[in-house]
């Protein structure tokens, strides 16, 4: 089972360390000091708020990704037997079709580059920098069903302790 980036909203402090880490990685910078004020790379991830609850949106690397279907240049393609959607910056013509179809806003148009940018899961790292940067483990990099399994376990634990009259 493939690994994806999952999000636990109850742990998120909206500190934006994840987005910072992503930006730095895309610019090839490892020290925050070296960030210049002028450089503002497009986000490969975004954050929204719904009644005070944050949600960090990242590319979901869908099995049947709409962006791959929409891509005219072939710069978006499945890799690793369909487990990841890889965006090749060089081949991208910046038509923006993918931006229109992605339900999660995972692709963004970069005016300077005249191309689209997208999360590629930073495959060369063992753990994506955004996940590593998260101080509260709100972002996790986990096998899909293992993530679900953990949720089940937490739910079971809550049920187990609060049996009430059945005890």
Partner 1 sequence: MCELICSFHHHQVGNPGRARIRVIALGQGEDIPVTCLNCEKPPCLDICPTGALYRDESVGMVLVQQDLCIGCAMCVNVCPVGAVTLDLVEGVAAKCDLCEGDPQCVAYCPAKVLKLTDAGQFAKYRMKEFAKFLKCQVGEN
- Exactly one of 4, 87, 115, 118 binds partner 1 (CB under 8 A); that residue is 4
Q: What CA–CA distances, in Å, run from 136 to 8, 36, 46, 131, 162? A: 9, 27, 18, 10, 26
145 binds partner 1 (CB under 8 A): yes
Question: Using CB under 8 A as the criterion, what x/- string covers residues 51-90 for binding partner 1?
Answer: ---------xxxxxxx---------------x--------
Interatomic CA distance for residues 112 and 147, integer angstroms: 38
104 binds partner 1 (CB under 8 A): yes
The residues with which 108 forms a beta bridge, in sequence order, are 117
CB atoms closer than 10 angstroms to residue 53: 11
Nearer to partner 1 (CB atom), residue 74 or residue 149:
149
Q: Which stretch binds partner 1 (CB under 8 A): 19-27, 70-78, 119-127, 158-166?
A: 158-166
Cα Rg for the chain, rounded, in angstroms?
Answer: 18
Q: Which stretch binds partner 1 (CB under 8 A): 19-27, 28-36, 112-120, 145-153?
A: 145-153
148 binds partner 1 (CB under 8 A): yes
Least CB distance to partner 1 at residue 17 (A) = 20
103 binds partner 1 (CB under 8 A): yes
6 binds partner 1 (CB under 8 A): yes
The footprint of partner 1 (CB under 8 A) covers: 1, 4, 6-7, 60-66, 82, 103-104, 144-145, 147-157, 159-160, 164-166
């Amino acid at each position: 089972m493939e690994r994806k980036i999952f999000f636990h909203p109850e742990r998120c402090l909206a500190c934006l360390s994840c987005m910072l880490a992503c930006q730095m990685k895309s610019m090839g910078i490892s020290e925050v000091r070296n960030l210049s004020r002028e450089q503002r790379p497009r986000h490969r991830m975004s954050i929204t708020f719904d009644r005070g609850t944050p949600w960090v949106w990242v590319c979901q690397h869908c099995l049947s990704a709409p962006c791959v279907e929409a891509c005219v240049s072939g710069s978006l393609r499945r890799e690793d037997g369909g487990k990841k959607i890889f965006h090749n910056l060089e081949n991208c013509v910046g038509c923006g079709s993918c931006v229109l179809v992605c339900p999660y806003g995972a692709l963004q148009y970069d005016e300077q580059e005249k191309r689209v940018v997208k999360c590629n899961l930073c495959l060369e790292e063992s753990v994506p920098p955004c996940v590593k940067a998260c101080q509260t483990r709100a972002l996790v990099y986990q096998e899909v069903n293992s993530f679900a399994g953990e949720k089940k376990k937490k739910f079971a634990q809550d049920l187990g302790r609060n049996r009430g009259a059945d005890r």
